[in-house]
Structure 1
Amino acid sequence: MNIQSISQNATVYIYDSIESYLTNVFFIEHESKIFIIDTFCGSESMEPILNRVNSSLNNKEVVVINTHFHWDHVWGNCSFKDRNIISHEMCRELLNESWEMQINENKKYIMGIAEKHLPNITFKEKISFYNEGIELFHSPGHTADSISIFDHNDKILYVGDNLEKPIIYVENADISTYINTLENYLNYRPRKIVAGHTLDLTEQDILNTIEYLKGLSTGKEMYFESEYMREIHEKNLSVVNKG
């Protein structure tokens, strides 16, 4: 695991225990609140973050955010049983329905304990923490339940898995809605864009992803420079064609 500062208030914990990609957990600290974006793969993975929370001299309120229901973003929820965990209302439903399946399919990645613990606060469109300048909003794309977070003070946009390099994973066949979400990102005019598996994204990456999605939806023939990208593209095609 690697730890990096991404702003005066925000830190990213970068995990490399899953082969093929890195996974990011974000820690945003304000005067009275700490926001933790996603909880990775279990109690052991959250120990460094809990140690930091417990070392806070001001006993700050901790708010945990699940960007979507996928296992590599939620298995550490059990480390925050006494804290508020926020997600989209669909995330809670999908996580409840798919918990055992996701455990069975990916149990080798569990770090410590991964007990089922669902978000206890949900929303439909948007929820804001005005004093801290933190806005959570529904941003369907990678999955239908995906949410994003915008820090109005630092102008940082946290997009979950809606953006990823070198290529996105499409698990929701509603491509037009995905494109609308990406176009809406541009309205925030972020200074920095970070994602669940990729750091240092730009507005050009948003535009490139929109073009990819348009090509995906029309069956446009596209060239990819690596076997990995070709493999993911074929999977994305199958999702769109089934939809």
Structure 2
Amino acid sequence: MPLKKSSAFSATRLAADTFLVKETDDIYSENPHIYVKLVPLVNTILLIDTGCGGKSNEDVEITSLREFLETYEVEVNDGKALNSGGFMKYVVVTTHCHYDHILAIEQFQGSLILASSHSPSFLSKANIAEHSLCNSLGIKTPSYDPTLVPHNFSIHSPDHDKTLLDVQILHTPGHTPDEIALYDTTNNLLYVGDTLYEDAPIIFPKEGSIVVWLASMDFLISFVQSIPNGQVLLNAGHCTVNKPALDMLQSAKGFIVDVVEGKEKVVKRTMKRGEGTVEYRQMGGRFSLICPEKLVLDARKSL
């Protein structure tokens, strides 16, 4: 029996039809989460983010996300590839445009690609190189043409009479203007991109807003509370997988409010993209924050 190829990716199961594909040891130290929902009845595979493009520190044979999805035998999927032979059509959703979520997106050209319509200029071809952070890293910006969709948009299959996939897109700006969350009504799974996560700093770029983020957090908290008998689990773009959503949302919001109110102290100052940047770490807690100091000061004035 031939040995299985080495890969920049690994897969674990989150629900009967849903998998976490993790890109580990990438050259950017992002270790991004990529989520995959299989809907074979309508010949569709839903892909949430595409990671860092397989740019690994290790000498691995599979560096293409698409090759991994279509050829790599996943033990927790009965030893079969997630999209064996590439027969299912892709619907790709970007939680936001930062490089570590879009660097493999060109592999899915010709597929339906969805992004937030909240701030079309933020995702324009004139601005994407800067806003994706590709400019600051000196790397090529992927070329893609997303379909911008509204708040509460229900995702459908590319064909099969556009059957709904039981996943809705929610506008949750703050981390970036184009940040979205997705809610899978079948599995009670909430995907929040980089809005929050544990065990690594929540990072705001200079284009972000803590004031707007707090409003989005209030929306998400109310959204989760409105789900009848909903034991909703939260999945983030990094670190956090299948954690109780309400606790995560309320706890992360509480930490950021403490930062704005001055209850948390700055532990480090740096310069980043021409901005004075501050870092906070929750004493004995699970949350930390890195952002331009201006965002904290703006939030103090507003709140």
Query: What TM-score, normalized by structure 2, do the two folds share?
Result: 0.67
Percent identity, aligned pairs only?
21
TM-fit CA distance, 1:234: 5.4
One-letter amino acid of the counterpart of residue 192, structure 1: L
**What is the DSSP-based 3-state SS (H/G/I as helix, E as strand, rest coil) of the residue aligned with 2:243?**
coil
- 2:235 maps to 194
Q: CA RMSD in A?
A: 3.0
How many angstroms does 1:213 deviate by?
1.9
Distance of aligned partners of 1:90 and 1:50 in 2 relative to their CA distance in 1, 3 Å threshold = farther
Partner of 1:4 in structure 2?
12
Hey, what does 2:172 align to over in structure 1? 139
Provide structure 1 residue ranges, at least 5 long, that are not aligned to the other structure: none
Q: String of CA shifts for 1:5-42, please: whole Å, max 9, x gaps.
A: 11101111111214544210111011212110011123
* Cα distance in structure 2, aligned partners of 1:80 and 1:196: 19
Q: Rg larger in 1 or in 2? A: 2
1:123 alignment counterpart: 149
Instruction: State the Cα deviation string for residues 174-230 of structure 1 (Å, max 9, x = none).
Output: 333322322332323453110000223332221111112212223333487xxx854
Number of equivalent positions:
235
- Greater share of helix: 1
Aligned counterparts of 2:21 and 2:166: Cα–Cα separation in 1? 22
Higher strand share: 2
Give yes or no for contact 1:99–1:116 (8 Å, CA) kept in 2: no
> Pairwise mapping of residues 90-239 of structure 1 onto structure 2 (< 5 A)?
90=118, 93-95=121-123, 96-101=125-130, 102-107=133-138, 115-119=142-146, 121-129=147-155, 131-166=164-199, 167-171=201-205, 174-186=209-221, 187-188=223-224, 189-198=230-239, 199-202=241-244, 203-222=246-265, 230=281, 233=289, 235-239=291-295
Q: Which has the higher contact order (CA 8 A, sep 6+)?
A: 1
Aligned residue for 1:184, secondary structure, equals helix
Unaligned runs of 5+ in 2: 1-8, 55-62, 72-80, 156-162, 225-229, 268-278, 283-287
Question: Is the Cα–Cα contact under 8 Å of residues 13 and 24 in structure 1 kept in the other structure?
Answer: yes
* Secondary structure, aligned partner of 1:136: strand
2:32 aligned partner, one-letter code: T
Distance 1:125-1:26 versus aligned 2 partners, 3 A rule: same
Question: Secondary structure in 2 aligned to 1:6?
Answer: strand
- The 2-side partners of 1:3 and 1:100 are apart by 30
1:55 to partner: Cα distance: 1.9
Structure 1 pair 220/97, CA: closer, same or farther in 2 (3 Å)?
A: farther
Partner of 1:35: 46
Deviations 1:103-130 (A, max 9, x none): 343357x8xxx641131x1123221037
> For residues 40 and 88 of structure 1, what CA distance do their matches in structure 2 show?
18
Shift of 1:85: 0.2
Question: Normalising by the residue count of structure 1, what TM-score does the alignment of the two structures yield?
Answer: 0.82
| Over 6 Å off, 4+ runs | none
Residue 13 in structure 1 maps to residue 42 in structure 2: no
1:82 matched to 2:123: no
Partner of 1:241: 297
CA shift in 2, pair 1:170/1:212, >3 Å? farther
